[in-house]
Amino acid sequence: MLVGNEPEPGFTATSGLHGTTLVVQASGELDHYHTPVLRAEMNRAWSALQSRTLILDLSALTFCDSSGIGELLQARHHGQVEGVRFIVTGIRGNLARRLNLAGLTQVFEVFPSVAEALEAA
């Protein structure tokens, strides 16, 4: 049991290199309580970046609310400011519906899988 305002277990974000391209893998429920976890991992990723491309893999995401979408938009903005190509993969289900409804499907550079994004990068 967690105390206070700490997020409950249910979301993880990890990074790994695929060649020189950094891939951040998000899994679980990305909501108001878990956006700081993604933000912290993205900050580590931006700092460790060895190439001009960063891939965010959302294929293991089971839920994403408006806070999570806001965090994705922040990451996209950060990439634009830094001149880094920000690619999102694995958008489906709840997140695909939300992005579609908000008219944000054209905002992100999207590939179905990490493999396809790596090939394009």
Supply the CATH classification number for the domain 12-120. Answer: 3.30.750.24
Q: What is the pLDDT of residues 51-73, one digit of tens each?
A: 999 999 999 999 999 999 999 99
pLDDT tens digits, residue range 11-56? 999 999 999 899 999 999 999 999 999 999 999 999 999 899 999 9
Query: Rounded to 5 degrees, what are φ and ψ at 9?
Result: -60, 150
pLDDT, averaged across the chain: 91
- From residue 31, alpha-carbon distances to 22, 43, 55, 74, 108 in Å are 23, 18, 20, 15, 19
Can you give the pLDDT at residue 5? 53
Give every CB contact of residue 102 below 8 A, 6+ residues apart in sequence.
69
Over residues 67-82, the mean pLDDT reads 95
pLDDT at 103 (0 to 100):
86
